[in-house]
Structure 1
Amino acid sequence: MEIYGVSNILAVLTGISIVTIGCLISYLFQKNLFNKYRDKVRNEVDKARSEPPVIPNKKV
């Protein structure tokens, strides 16, 4: 009967560690992979905001 208690504790610890490792990998993936693209997107958005809007078929 005592082996079931140890087995349950190991199962809970394994589940918690898998979820924690998954969250850590997701955080590191997001931080390191998309960090270089963040500045590019920010620069493009700033350019789009600073330029006047282009209306098609309108002569200036």
Structure 2
Amino acid sequence: MSKASEAIEPDPATSAAPQSLGRLLRRAAAQFGNKIFVEDGAGRAISFTEAAHRV
């Protein structure tokens, strides 16, 4: 067991540089297209692709 005071080293294989939300949404939209729907702030269902372009 490790002590709480020990530093935890990040695993380079799993710790990628953080991405912006817009970039992440655009990548997901390119992969899933209009198959996923989300709710916008007004309560309307919009496609994932449209949501990605709004960010």
Where on the TM-score scale, by shorter chain, does this alignment land: which range?
Answer: under 0.3
* Structure with max Cα Rg: 1
Pick 1 or 2: higher relative contact order, CA cutoff 8 A, min separation 6: 2
Q: Which is strand-richer, 1 or 2? A: 2
Q: Which is helix-richer, 1 or 2? A: 1
TM-score, normalised via structure 2 length: 0.25
